[in-house]
Amino acid sequence: MPESIPPAVATASTRDRLLDAASRLFYEEGVHVGVDTLCRAAGVSKRSMYKLFDSKDELVAASLERAAPDYELDLLPASDDCRSPRSRILHVFERLEHLERAHEFRGCPFVAAAIQVKSREHPASRVARRQKDKLTSFFQYEAGRGGAPDPVMLARQLTVVFDGASAQSVVQAQDLDGLAIATAGVLLDAAGLSSPDDCAVPNAITGVAESAR
Amino acid sequence: MPESIPPAVATASTRDRLLDAASRLFYEEGVHVGVDTLCRAAGVSKRSMYKLFDSKDELVAASLERAAPDYELDLLPASDDCRSPRSRILHVFERLEHLERAHEFRGCPFVAAAIQVKSREHPASRVARRQKDKLTSFFQYEAGRGGAPDPVMLARQLTVVFDGASAQSVVQAQDLDGLAIATAGVLLDAAGLSSPDDCAVPNAITGVAESAR
């Protein structure tokens, strides 16, 4: 592998083209897609790629990092959303079910990458872990706000349901059809997160959800 | 790819060696492991491999089929187990947590394969689906026996928790530490599956769990 050269050497557009092609190909076909195929799809030489990334492993991780903000935007409620914690948590599961129906969904890209790279120490696994921790933090904040007796545990359980519903949508040749929402709902019911007074305190939470994103 | 030749031409041991190597390598490294690597690991020629399997896709599916009985045996309670439906269902989650701790666990092999092959029509996805349906059927049977108001829904939710806990154990660099059991427990509580009278009716369920395996 060539020596690493600082990313500043290359133009931003080369990096962007590479990361966009990598995000798409790794998600649609798998992280084993070869560097040749990837560079061809991005219209970038291998030499240019290795100027930007020390290794393909680093590229896989960077492509996940690049996809993260859009994925969060797709899943999390707006920060100035005045709904109850329960509604804001269920929003994530509604969005998951929507994403699954909207196009050919292949599961959570972060879990998919971690499962493929097979090592918890792989840079892509670290990005996946960070991303899951963000989702769990969002759940935990809302669970606490909603008065759950154990927000940490509830948040971990909701993340389990998110990942399991996402996996099931890949394995089963049928839509989730409300399964993710219903399962999360049982956990929220059990923790006493009912849904009264949606938007009774407008803007009270503005800025807080931002910190959890 | 060479023309397919009926499996009967090859000896059983060639087939066994190939499937054992395939199960191991596909699980440990991923289903993208090349035919050359695989044949070398199994000590089998590519020509012999293609006499047994039309394609690598068929080999991936067959290797999952081969791993299935052991995986079921690892997870499901014995058919002559006289415990309550709740205990028998929780047994699966206890086993998942045990498997995760016992060696380097890389998640459910069936979900992992389905996520990697990326197509619901791939022969490996069909095996994965069949295997998940078996687990869901087991949950459904026990949920019905335990008096759950909606055994079908509870069984699907328990499968979501199983897959999510399995995914989380791959993504997170820490043990589940009771998370799978606790999450399944909340669903069972909500469905009214309490755990009285374990083994009060010994052998009453003998033979029934067999049919769900």
HSE-up of residue A37 (Cα within 13 Å, Cβ side): 10
Reply yes or no on whether the pLDDT at A207 is more than 50: no
Distance from CA of B11 to the nearest CA of A (A): 33
Q: Which residues of B touch A182 (CB under 8 A)?
A: 153, 157
Interface touch A170/B29, C-beta < 8 Å: no
Interface residue A177 vs chain B (CB under 8 A) = no
From the list A68, A71, A52, the residue with the least C-alpha distance to A10 is: A52
Residues ≥6 apart with Cβ < 8 Å to A152: A140
Extract long-range pairs of B43-48: CB within 8 Å, 24+ residues apart: B43/B17, B44/B14, B44/B17, B44/B18, B47/B2, B48/B10, B48/B14, B48/B18
pTM of the model: 0.87
Interface touch A32/B29, C-beta < 8 Å: no
Burial A180-205 (b: 16+ CB within 10 A, else e): bbbbbbbbbebbebeeeeeeeeeeeb
Interface touch A157/B182, C-beta < 8 Å: yes
- Cβ count near A79 (within 10 Å): 14
- DSSP 3-state assignment of B7? helix
Distance from CA of B149 to the nearest CA of A (A): 14
Measured between alpha carbons, how far is B154 from B54 in angstroms, rounded to an integer?
39
Interface touch A129/B180, C-beta < 8 Å: no
- Confidence band, pLDDT 50/70/90 cuts, at residue A151: very high
Q: Which residues of A touch B114 (CB under 8 A)?
A: 170-171
Q: What is the pLDDT of residue A196?
A: 62
Q: Which has the higher per-residue pLDDT, A18 or A201?
A: A18
Interface residue A48 vs chain B (CB under 8 A) = no
Asked if residues A119 and B106 have their Cβ atoms less than 8 Å apart, the reply is no
Q: What is the pLDDT of residue A173?
A: 75
- Confidence band, pLDDT 50/70/90 cuts, at residue A174: confident
Measured between alpha carbons, how far is B57 from A87 in angstroms, rounded to an integer?
43
Maximum Cα–Cα distance for chain B, whole Å? 60
Across residues A14-34, what is the average pLDDT? 93
Residues ≥6 apart with Cβ < 8 Å to B105: B99, B169, B170
Distance from CA of A201 to the nearest CA of B (A): 31
Average pLDDT, chain A: 87
Q: Which residue of A has its CA nearest to B34?
A: A32
- Confidence band, pLDDT 50/70/90 cuts, at residue B211: very low
Task: Find which of B96, B168, B187, B193 to mutate to test the A interface (most A CBs within 10 Å of its CB).
Answer: B168
Helices (H), B76-191: 85-102, 109-117, 123-145, 151-171, 179-190
ipTM of this model?
Answer: 0.86
Interface touch A114/B29, C-beta < 8 Å: no
- Residues B142-152: tens digit of each pLDDT: 999 999 999 99
Interface residue B170 vs chain A (CB under 8 A) = yes
Interface touch B162/A164, C-beta < 8 Å: yes
Reply yes or no on whether the pLDDT at A145 is more than 90: yes
Residues ≥6 apart with Cβ < 8 Å to A20: A42, A66
Question: Least CB-CB distance to A186: which of B128, B163, B186?
Answer: B186
Q: Which has the higher per-residue pLDDT, A24 or A209?
A: A24
Q: What is the pLDDT of residue A3?
A: 46
Reply yes or no on whether the pLDDT at A5 is more than 90: no
Reply yes or no on whether the pLDDT at B81 is more than 60: yes
Across residues A73-102, what is the average pLDDT? 93
- Cβ count near B113 (within 10 Å): 26
Asked if residues B50 and B6 have their Cβ atoms less than 8 Å apart, the reply is no
- Residues A30-74: tens digit of each pLDDT: 999 999 999 999 999 999 999 999 999 999 999 999 999 999 999
Tokens for A211, please give them.
């910190």
Q: What is the pLDDT of residue B196?
A: 62
